[in-house]
Amino acid sequence: MRKKTFYLIGSISCLCWIVIVCYLFVHKPPGKIIKLKDVNYQVEQLEKDLKGQLNSNKILINNLRSLKRKLSGTGKEIKSYSYDDTIAVLLFSCNRVTVRRNLDQLLKYRPDATSFPIIVSQDCGHEPTRKVLQSYGDQITLIRHPDLSDIPLVGKEKKFKGYYKIARHYAWALNQTFNVFNYNTVIIVEDDLDIAPDFFEYFRATYQILASDPTLWCVSAWNDNGKEGLIADNSADTLYRSDFFPGLGWMMTKNVWLEIADKWPKAFWDDWIRQPAQRKERACIRPEVSRTKTFGKVGVSNGLFFEKHLKFIKLNEQFVPFTKYNLTYLLKDNYDDWFIKTVYGSPSVTVQDLASGRLDGNGPVRLTYRSKVNFKTIAKAFRLMDDFKSGVPRTGYRGVVPFMFRNRRVYLAPPPDWKGYDTS
């Protein structure tokens, strides 16, 4: 009996539905001529709605993922990679149509779309760049910075407006990535970077170390001293810890973002992030051979820096299967012992010893610097970056800057009784 009633109600519902649908199809408002303009408008609306829907879906999926992560808990041991550990790639774009060069490489080298979804955030409202980005369709998630308003600055500050806009854009887009799309980890790239074939492999492998070691707060693809001659041959698999935040293709987790988001600065975010109050003595992982290289010399920062340094950085070409390697040596407890023993166990030499070529063998050696001025003099002599940010020399770890000289490893190091960085 019940079954019969059920079928009856079902049939009536179906019938009603068909009648309504037919009515809607057949019935058109009398006398209305459909204009092409209207159709276009409606198609555009539909497209917008669909895109909105797509973004909402992505957000929903990420919320579910993040819930799953929370439920599965975290341990103290090394995290092994699981496909829940989506790492978003956030590409910053403004008014350079050459963003295509970076985007094409990201898409070419990305192992799969699920583990590395790409968000492109565009500032500046530059129409030609927007067209380029839109041409990638649903291969990327395109978001646009809604605040294009002017930033009023007075006097000397005026010429730094670009840096203010960049900082504002970063804050907005990172908030979107972590708090709206709800990703847990992000790799940040800018629109003027070339990337190495193992870019994603590198980040996927080091992600486990980053997530396991609270004394790390970033992984960077960049070696500030990564010029030909300063890096070892056949050392594509060599990685270091660095107290200097390198930027230029770097990964951080949501925890770090939540910690710094509220005090995010109005300009010069990269120098700000290097300050002790933000860094809190944490380090980054960086490679011996850079996995990024900047190709854009027209930008906010001056072209001189590009001509003098950036263009000489060697981009890695060899694919290193990092995810197959045991990288636990990069964890602080393992690394520091090894690092201190290696550096301070190496024979102490002078600049003259090195320059004269009278040293025996080709083992590692140590070159001591005793002050910032002293460091700068030596750094210049060896074509190393000679500047300090918040007391830390570029690529420095515990004050030590490793580099190659005539195929010999040299550690430019403070005396063994080093007490910490002089941030004054």
Ligand X SMILES: *[C@@H]1O[C@H](CO)[C@@H](O)[C@H](O)[C@H]1NC(C)=O
Cβ distance to ligand X smaller for residue 175 or 346? 175
Given the residues 123, 192, 213, 270, select the one marked as catalytic.
270
Looking at the Cβ atoms of 148 and 180, the one nearer to ligand X is 180
Contact status, residue 284 vs residue 273, Cβ threshold 8 Å? no
Catalytic status, residue 270 = yes
Select from 99-107, 159-167, 324-332, 384-392 the region that touches ligand X (CB under 6 A): 324-332
334 binds ligand X (CB under 6 A): yes
What x/- string results for residues 252 through 281 when contact with ligand X is judged by CB under 6 A? Answer: ------------------------------
Contact between 80 and ligand X per CB under 6 A: no
For tokens 């799969």, what's the residue?
112
Q: Which of 60, 67, 113, 180 binds ligand X (CB under 6 A)?
A: 180
Residues in CB range of 349: below 8 A, 6 or more apart = 359, 365, 366, 367
Rounded CA-CA distance 219/133 in Å is 27
Q: Is 323 in the site for ligand X (CB under 6 A)?
A: no
Binding residues among 290-309 for ligand X as defined by CB under 6 A: none
Q: How far is the CB of 329 from ligand X (least distance, A)?
A: 5
Q: Compute how many residues bind ligand X; rule: CB under 6 A.
A: 7
Give 80 or 407: the residue with its C-beta nearer to ligand X. Answer: 80
Query: Given candidates 11, 56, 63, 179, which one binds ligand X under the rule CB under 6 A?
Result: 179
Nearer to ligand X, 143 or 248 (CB): 143
Does 215 bind ligand X (CB under 6 A)? Our answer is no
Count of Cβ atoms closer than 10 Å to residue 59 Cβ: 15
CB of residue 171 to ligand X, shortest distance in Å: 7
Stretch of residues binding ligand X (CB under 6 A), selected from 89-97, 173-181, 191-199, 354-362: 173-181
By beta-carbon proximity to ligand X, the closer residue of 235 and 328 is 328
Taking the least distance from each CB to ligand X, the nearer of 42 and 179 is: 179
Q: Are 403 and 288 in contact (CB under 8 A)?
A: no
Binding residue for ligand X, selected from 66, 329, 332, 351, defined by CB under 6 A: 329
- Binding segment (CB under 6 A) for ligand X, from list 50-58, 64-72, 174-182, 315-323: 174-182
Q: Among 112-120, 190-198, 221-229, 321-329, which window interacts with ligand X (CB under 6 A)?
A: 321-329
When asked if residue 56 is in the footprint of ligand X (CB under 6 A), the reply is: no
Site string for ligand X, 120-159 (x = CB under 6 A): ----------------------------------------
The catalytic residues are 270
Residues near ligand X (CB under 6 A): 175, 179-180, 326, 328-329, 334
